Structure 1
Amino acid sequence: MAKRRKLGNPLALTVMVLLAERSMHPYEIAQTLRRRGKEHSVKINFGSLYTVVQNLEKHGYVEVAGVQRQGNRPERTLYGITEAGRTEMLDWLSDLLAVPVAEYPVFETALSLLPVLPPREVAELLETRAVALANGSAALRGVLGQLGERLPRVFVIETEYQLHMVDAQLEWIRAFRDELTDGTISGIEEWKSFHETGEVPQDWQDLDEQEIVLDPERKGWTQDPE
């Protein structure tokens, strides 16, 4: 089960990982993230980076490691990871890799509610999404190609994963859209009837009378700690 942590912002974990390499000041952390293309995989608010570092220091995960002086530039405080921070970093990252959690993506929410829209409109909307995903896939391939030319694969593996997931979603959407267009998905006649008559089909009403027990934790998965 995923552990509830003092800090839940993935950017905090990212900062600790960078500081595990060497001491840095926040501006250098931001520049390193940009150079490595991490804005494509971590939600980075560069303006709040100083606050993240301060919170890490507050919890004893990082500490002041020195001061950097360069010419006439203002002094910059260097931060380094503490032993407590290193332990938290390794434990947190291990949890993220090993323990799946139910994250409730908004697209899944939309899919669960789609009968309120007519089948034809859903097919059109999914086609719009498919075009956007295809463009996103092409963009990710470009990013991966650029990063792959200057970084070892181990530093771009998350972008590779993102591309795979976008392509998988695109493939699923196209197949589902075809079912809608062909009228082969089960329940489509009731779905159409609902929009033609404005009345809830009897089959749907009967479903509401049935007691169906679903596992809210997707059996073996943990809830999103956030």
Structure 2
Amino acid sequence: MVSKLSKYVMGLLHKRPMNPYEVAKLSDKEVIQRWFPMTAASIYTTIKNLEKKGYIAGKSVQEGNFPVKTVYSLSESGEKELSEDLANGLASYEAEASNFGIALFHISSIEKKDALSYLRERLVKLETLLSDTQEHLELYATKIPFNMKMMLIYQQNRLLMEIKTTEELIIEIEKDEKWDYSFTQYLDS
């Protein structure tokens, strides 16, 4: 299994051979960065690592008077790895220890009023992101490829779930007298 960024780059190269600049330029589009933030430097490093592992191969190309550039394509072993990783990704669910999840686990380490304040701040951010995502869906749904439309729908659904969870958490903290009963206290009892 390769990293998420490696899988992303390999997927692009599966569609067509590209040089690193093309991959970085394509990846810098807002719709991509909103879904998967990355830097050009991380893309270049990923391409070098994929080449070392034999998943991609570079070929020097000279076009007119332009400098020679290296165009990368997926190797046979890269195609096999990508195919297996995509199959696993589509068929699986992985529990992830997100920053929010870890903060939630340790929420009793901060004052109740502060926790509520941070959660309300989070709610505003989530609602803004949801509004932006829905706006993008309305503007681009008929103009973008199927996979990009589905990524926006996926993001919208995740945001709706995050908003619901955050709203429920605020309600529970406000009404629960033992909201700060910690996991370690639970283990000690």
Q: Percent identity?
A: 26
Consecutive unaligned residues in structure 1, runs of 5 or more: 195-199, 211-226
Q: Report the TM-score, using the length of structure 1 for normalisation.
A: 0.73
Name the structure, 1 or 2, with higher relative contact order (CA <8 Å, separation 6+): 1
| AA of the residue aligned to 1:170 | I
- Equivalences for residues 97-116 of structure 1 within 5 A: 97-116=90-109
Residue aligning to 1:187: 178
Q: Distance in 1 between matches of 2:169 and 2:32?
A: 32
Is 1:64 matched up with 2:55?
no
Quick check: 1:16–1:85 contact (8 Å CA) kept in 2? yes
| AA of the residue aligned to 1:30 | A
- Equivalences for residues 18-97 of structure 1 within 5 A: 18-35=12-29, 37-69=31-63, 71-97=64-90
Quick check: 1:141–1:163 contact (8 Å CA) kept in 2? yes
| AA of the residue aligned to 1:111 | L
Q: Please give the per-residue CA displacement for 1:146-201, whole angstroms capped at 9, x wherever unaligned.
A: 442421232232222122111211122112212333x2x3624xx4xx9xxxxx9x
- Root-mean-square deviation (CA, aligned residues, Å) is 2.5
Indicate the structure with greater helix content.
2
**How far 1:120 moved relative to its partner?**
3.0
**How far 1:61 moved relative to its partner?**
0.8
| AA of the residue aligned to 2:6 | A
Q: Please give the per-residue CA displacement for 1:4-35, whole angstroms capped at 9, x wherever unaligned.
A: x3xx4312111111111111111112223345
| AA of the residue aligned to 1:13 | K
Quick check: 1:68–1:78 contact (8 Å CA) kept in 2? no
Quick check: 1:36–1:147 contact (8 Å CA) kept in 2? no
Residue aligning to 2:112: 119
What is the SS of the residue equivalent to 2:37? coil
- Equivalences for residues 74-223 of structure 1 within 5 A: 74-181=67-174, 183=175, 185=176, 187-188=178-179, 191=180, 207-210=186-189
The number of residues matched between the two structures is 188
**How far 1:209 moved relative to its partner?**
3.1
Q: Distance in 2 between matches of 1:92 and 1:208?
A: 38
Quick check: 2:60–2:68 contact (8 Å CA) kept in 1? no
Q: Report the TM-score, using the length of structure 2 for normalisation.
A: 0.85
What is the SS of the residue equivalent to 1:23? coil
